[in-house]
Every structure is written in structure tokens, then in C-alpha cells.
Amino acid sequence: EHGVGCMTAANEMRKAGNTSVKVSQVARSATSQTAQALQPLHDYLKIMPAVRKSINERNDSLLTLQTMLAEAERLDARIAKLEPDLTKMKKVQDLKLELDATRATGNQAKSDYDMIQERHREEFARLEKDRVTQFHAMLLNYARVQVANSERSLSLWRGLAEEFGAAADEWRSTGPEKVLDSEFA
């Protein structure tokens, strides 16, 4: 009599263990599928260093532009100060040449900065559009994986519960609160 009870308990434990192993395999598969579903997030994170580098490039270009503008202002101020003195006309001419070169460099820096800024606007708009589309698809795929995993796990555990004598009508709950309410009532 004790041996039959022990064998029954051992069989039930074996079935529960087998179900646990199957659920673990389902979870492992779901983990792999989740990693695939989250691939757009990984791709997005991979491009972030390039985005940072591009922003640093723009900042460097802006710094160059600001430096050239400040240098041009400084040279203008020196020329204005020296122009009234006729003895320093050679120095004024040299400063005017330097000012012209500085302005040309400043104009090139402004052109470079404007080009970078426009490229950033276009690329960031494209990136944002792609990111929204990809993240929407990613979240949908992630939700599908989670639903499939939950349904497979639920099916395995229900099968075991019904094998142990649970009634099939127990699964017709209106929501998760019914199951929790009945457990704690």
C-alpha cells in the first residue's frame, strides 16, 4: 500500500519534472526568439558611436567657425586702431591681408558648418523615421514572442493539471484576477 502511493507520487513528480523541462525548453526558445526580435535595438545601439562622432565633428566645425569670427573681429579692431596713424600703414596693409585670409577661412568654416548641419538634419530625420518603424515592428515581434511563449507554457501546465485531475472548465476565467481571487479566497 505504501509502495503504490510512493510510485504514484514518483510518477506525478516525474510528470511535473518533465513538464518543467519542456517549459524550460520553451523558455530557451523564447529567449532566442526575443533576442532576434530585439535585433533593431541592438542595431540602433551599434550606430550610436557614429552618431556621437558626427555630432563631435559638427561641434568642431562650429568651434572653428567661432574662432575665425573672433579672429576677424580682433583684426578689425586692430586695423581700426592703427588706421589713423599714417606711420603704421604697412602694418595696416598686412593686417588687412591677414583679415581677408581670416574671413576667407571663416567663410569656408561657415560653409562647412552649414553643410554638416544640413546633412545632420537629413540624416537625423531619416534615422528617426527608420527607428520609429523598426522599433514598432520590434515591439510587435517581441509581444508575439511573449504571447507564444506564454501560450505554450500555459498549454503544458494545463495539460499536467488536467492529467492530475483539474477540470477543463477551470480555464474559462474572465481574466487573471479570477485565478488570483480563487487562490486567495
Q: Does the structure show a pLDDT above 60 at 117? A: yes
Closest to 171 (Cα-Cα) out of 154, 185, 183: 154
pLDDT, average across residues 12-34: 92
Phi and psi at 14, nearest 5°, equal: -65, -45
Q: Between 179 and 110, where is the model more confident? A: 110
64, 72, 92, 131 from 88: Cα distances, Å? 30, 19, 6, 61
Distance in angstroms between the alpha carbons of the first and the last residue of the chain: 35
pLDDT at 104 (0 to 100): 92
Distance CA 136, CA 24 (A): 28
C-alpha span between 27 and 31 (Å, rounded):
6
State yes or no: pLDDT of 176 exceeds 60.
Answer: no
What is the rounded CA–CA span in Å between residue 79 and residue 95? 7
pTM above 0.75, yes or no: no
Asked whether residue 85 carries a pLDDT value surpassing 80, the answer given is no
